[in-house]
């Protein structure tokens, strides 16, 4: 944990960062990988008409929304659209 107060900060209050560098690196690698995996699963599930795969991809995309703050509305919309797409697929799987 470290505290940094800059001399030209607007409010001159301390800010605390408690995340380690290793944890930040793991998070930086896992979040985009999870988004990519969910997108690939949804495309494969839709192409092969596997409803459960698309449902899992939608749930995976929605759980990634908790970690992706910059594009959270996009992942939320995509996750919900995956779940809506799964309703249109036949329950073959």
Report the C-alpha gap between 67 and 35 in whole angstroms: 10
Residue, of 4 and 24, whose pLDDT is higher? 24
Looking at residues 66-85, what average pLDDT do you find? Answer: 80
* Residue 93 pLDDT class (50, 70, 90 cuts): very low
Span 78-83, average pLDDT: 86
How would you classify the pairing of strands 2-4 and 15-17?
antiparallel
pLDDT digits (tens, 9 = 90+) for 24-50: 788 777 778 888 888 899 889 888 888
Rounded Cα distance between 30 and 17, Å, is 20
Instruction: Say if residue 72's pLDDT is above 80.
Output: no
């Amino acid at each position: 944990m470290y505290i940094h107060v800059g001399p030209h900060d607007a409010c001159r209050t301390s800010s605390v960062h408690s995340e380690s560098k290793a944890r930040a690196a793991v998070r930086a690698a896992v979040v985009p990988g999870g988004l990519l995996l969910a997108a690939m699963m949804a495309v494969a599930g839709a192409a092969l008409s596997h409803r459960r795969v698309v449902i899992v991809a939608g749930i995976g995309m929605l759980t990634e929304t908790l970690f992706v703050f910059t594009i959270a509305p996009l992942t939320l919309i995509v996750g919900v659209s995956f779940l809506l797409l799964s309703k249109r697929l036949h329950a073959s799987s």
